[in-house]
Amino acid sequence: MSNLLEAVEEVTRRTGAVAARSFRTSLAVERKSDGSPVSTADREAETFARTWIGDRFPDDSISGEEFGETGRGRRRWVIDPIDGTVSFLAGVPLYSTLIAAVEGEDVVVGAISCPSLDELAVAARGEGCWWNGVRCSVSAVDALASALVLTTDSTFRATPECRPAWERLSQRSRNVRGWGDGFGYLMVATGRAEAMLDGIVQPWDIAAPRIVVEEAGGVFTGWPGRNDGPGSGVATNAVLAEEVRRVLADS
């Protein structure tokens, strides 16, 4: 486990550094079939991560946002080279690199790197979470009226069925911000926010955030009542977990 923890920390940090070289530069940008942007920086960073992992763990499989899945190993590395590409392309530093290793359905190690903010969180199952080398934990805030709540897109255009629940939660919270994507989950894991919500996510969006939040003492689940279609993400500190999910599920 210690070898895997060191590996995911290093590859995530190095991959983030590759992405950061292109931050606030002129990039070629294309649109995927779902309309989301992809840049040459996304592809360069994922290519680096795949090569690094393949050289050191040749028997493992790799699944990435930009190049799909390769290999048939029991352990799978899951890569999002630039989570928050929209922010990245706009010159906003709240993007991240997310990498995790998964065995079966269980995430065993994961890391979130925010290279333009000089922040890195890394976690291993059963071992805890570290933020820039120091143990970190979720907050102890125990009232929604005192909570900072985050989301990637407060309009919930892709999942309009989530908007009423989000509005209920927003009205009961102290502050609401759009500091989303992987950075939002990092905020929860490090005790700087109490909840982070996404109405729609892909596996590479949440593998690393899930273990980082959980090993920091938080709770990570899907959106209550949404069991069909694409995945979703709801991360909270432990104290507010039940109340947040009750508000979201209240019809």
Task: Point out the domain boundary residue: 135, 158, 181.
Answer: 135
Check whether residue 96 and residue 187 sit in a common domain: no
Question: What CATH number does residue 237 fall under?
Answer: 3.40.190.80
Measured CA distances, 57 to 3, 11, 54 (Å)? 11, 12, 5
Structure confidence by residue, pLDDT tens digits, 121-143: 999 999 999 999 999 999 999 99
Say if residue 225's pLDDT is above 80: no
Where in the sequence is the domain holding 70, given as residue range(s)? 2-135
Check whether residue 117 and residue 152 sit in a common domain: no
What is the rounded CA–CA span in Å between residue 98 and residue 144? 28
Q: Backbone phi, then psi, for 216, in 5-degree steps?
A: -85, 5
Q: Are 76 and 63 in contact (CB under 8 A)?
A: yes
Structure confidence by residue, pLDDT tens digits, 83-94: 999 999 999 999
With residue 176 as reference, give the H or E element that holds it: strand 175-177
In three-state secondary structure terms, 170 is: helix
Of all residues in the chain, what percent carry a pLDDT higher than 70? 98
Check whether residue 110 and residue 182 sit in a common domain: no
Global pTM value: 0.95
Check whether residue 109 and residue 19 sit in a common domain: yes
Q: Are 42 and 48 in contact (CB under 8 A)?
A: no
Check whether residue 41 and residue 118 sit in a common domain: yes
Number of domains the chain is built from: 2
Check whether residue 99 and residue 185 sit in a common domain: no
Max Cα distance, the chain (Å): 51
Check whether residue 148 and residue 119 sit in a common domain: no
Say if residue 226's pLDDT is above 90: no
Nearest to 110 by CA among 127, 135, 86, 95: 127
Check whether residue 149 and residue 129 sit in a common domain: no
